[in-house]
Structure 1
Amino acid sequence: MDDSSNSSDSSDSSNSILSPCSSPSSSELTWKRGRSSSSSQTYESDDSCTSLVKCPRFCEDHVSEWDISKLESFGIIYDDKATELADLYESALKDLYLVLGIKHLAELWTKLLKIKEILVESTKKCMQSLDVDEEFSDIDSLSPFAVVKETEKCLQAIAKIKDEMAANGSTSSFDNLSWHLFSFWHTAILEYVEYYSDLIREWSSHGKLGVEGEFCQLLVFFSRLFLLNSMSGDASPEVRMTLDGVDTTSVPDLRYKLQGECTHFKTNPSLMTVTVGEVKKWTLAQDEKTTTGFNIRNMKFTGQSVESLLGRHGGELLLEWKKSALQDTNLGIICVKNMIIFTCLKLDREHLSNLAHGHPMEDEKSIIRYSRPYNILVRKDREEIMDTMFHLGLLCRIKSLHFLQDKAFLHCFL
Structure 2
Amino acid sequence: MSIFYDNTSVPLHEFTARVKTVAWKGRINRTSPMYFKEFESTLRKGITFCLPCDSLPRPVNVLETEHHLKLINKQREYFTEFATGMKSQMHLSKSAELEYDFFKTRTYDFLVYLGKFQEIRATCPCKEIQYTNLFMEFSKIFALKPEVGEIRERRIRIGSQTVVCIPDVRFLRYPQIADHSLLVMHTEVNLIKPSDDQEETFDIHKLTTQTLGLHGGELLAERKFSIFKPGVLGIICLRTKLIFTFMEMTEDHYNCIERGRSCDEHHAKIIYTKPYDYLNEEEREEMYSLLFWLGYLQQCT
Instruction: Give the TM-score taking structure 1 as reference length.
Output: 0.67
Instruction: Provide closer, same or farther for how the CA distance between residues 101 and 79 of structure 1 changes in structure 2, counting only shifts above 3 A.
Output: closer
Considering only CA atoms, is the larger Rg found in Structure 1 or Structure 2? 1
C-alpha deviation, 1:187, in angstroms? 1.6
C-alpha deviation, 1:148, in angstroms? 2.8
Of the candidates 83, 99, 102, which is equivalent to residue 162 of structure 1? Answer: 83
Give the % identical residues.
21
Instruction: Provide closer, same or farther for how the CA distance between residues 353 and 221 of structure 1 changes in structure 2, counting only shifts above 3 A.
Output: same
The number of residue pairs the alignment matches comes to: 299
Instruction: Provide closer, same or farther for how the CA distance between residues 167 and 140 of structure 1 changes in structure 2, counting only shifts above 3 A.
Output: same
Partner residue in 2 for 1:229: 145
Of the candidates 153, 163, 179, which is equivalent to residue 268 of structure 1? Answer: 179
C-alpha deviation, 1:287, in angstroms? 5.3
Instruction: Provide closer, same or farther for how the CA distance between residues 165 and 125 of structure 1 changes in structure 2, counting only shifts above 3 A.
Output: closer
- Whether 1:77 aligns to 2:8 is no
Of the candidates 41, 44, 51, which is equivalent to residue 132 of structure 1? Answer: 51
Counterpart Cα distance in 1 of 2:99 and 2:108: 14
C-alpha deviation, 1:227, in angstroms? 1.1
Written as runs of structure 1 = structure 2, the 5 A alignment for 1:212-251 is 212-236=128-152, 238-251=153-166
Partner residue in 1 for 2:195: 286
Q: Secondary structure at the match of 2:191?
A: strand
Partner residue in 2 for 1:307: 209
Instruction: Provide closer, same or farther for how the CA distance between residues 360 and 283 of structure 1 changes in structure 2, counting only shifts above 3 A.
Output: closer
Instruction: Provide closer, same or farther for how the CA distance between residues 136 and 284 of structure 1 changes in structure 2, counting only shifts above 3 A.
Output: closer
Counterpart Cα distance in 2 of 1:101 and 1:77: 26
Instruction: Provide closer, same or farther for how the CA distance between residues 226 and 397 of structure 1 changes in structure 2, counting only shifts above 3 A.
Output: same
Partner residue in 1 for 2:168: 253
Counterpart Cα distance in 2 of 1:290 and 1:257: 33
Counterpart Cα distance in 2 of 1:211 and 1:376: 18
C-alpha deviation, 1:134, in angstroms? 4.1
Instruction: Provide closer, same or farther for how the CA distance between residues 136 and 286 of structure 1 changes in structure 2, counting only shifts above 3 A.
Output: closer
Counterpart Cα distance in 2 of 1:132 and 1:141: 15
Of the candidates 346, 353, 360, which is equivalent to residue 248 of structure 2? Answer: 346
Instruction: Provide closer, same or farther for how the CA distance between residues 360 and 141 of structure 1 changes in structure 2, counting only shifts above 3 A.
Output: farther
Kindly report the root-mean-square deviation, in angstroms, between the aligned alpha carbons of the 2 structures: 2.2
- Cα pair 1:334 1:342 within 8 Å, conserved: yes
Q: Secondary structure at the match of 1:143?
A: helix
CA offsets per residue over residues 193-246 of structure 1, 9 Å max, x none?
A: 011011102212x1x43111100000000101111111111112x111111221
Instruction: Provide closer, same or farther for how the CA distance between residues 160 and 234 of structure 1 changes in structure 2, counting only shifts above 3 A.
Output: same
Instruction: Provide closer, same or farther for how the CA distance between residues 231 and 351 of structure 1 changes in structure 2, counting only shifts above 3 A.
Output: same
- Cα pair 1:260 1:268 within 8 Å, conserved: no
Instruction: Provide closer, same or farther for how the CA distance between residues 240 and 283 of structure 1 changes in structure 2, counting only shifts above 3 A.
Output: closer
Counterpart Cα distance in 2 of 1:161 and 1:222: 19
Partner residue in 1 for 2:290: 388
C-alpha deviation, 1:348, in angstroms? 0.3
Instruction: Provide closer, same or farther for how the CA distance between residues 118 and 141 of structure 1 changes in structure 2, counting only shifts above 3 A.
Output: farther
- Cα pair 1:343 1:371 within 8 Å, conserved: yes
Counterpart Cα distance in 2 of 1:209 and 1:195: 17
- Whether 1:87 aligns to 2:8 is no
- Cα pair 2:55 2:191 within 8 Å, conserved: no
Instruction: Provide closer, same or farther for how the CA distance between residues 142 and 235 of structure 1 changes in structure 2, counting only shifts above 3 A.
Output: farther
Counterpart Cα distance in 1 of 2:192 and 2:222: 29
C-alpha deviation, 1:312, in angstroms? 0.6
Partner residue in 1 for 2:41: 121
Range with greater deviation from structure 2 (87-96 or 335-344)? 87-96
Partner residue in 2 for 1:181: 99
C-alpha deviation, 1:95, in angstroms? 4.0
Counterpart Cα distance in 2 of 1:76 and 1:319: 13
Partner residue in 1 for 2:266: 364
Counterpart Cα distance in 2 of 1:147 and 1:132: 7
Counterpart Cα distance in 2 of 1:367 and 1:298: 17
Listed as ranges, the gaps of 5+ residues in structure 2 are: none
Written as runs of structure 1 = structure 2, the 5 A alignment for 1:40-59 is none
- Runs of 4 or more consecutive aligned structure 1 residues displaced over 4 Å after TM superposition: 100-103
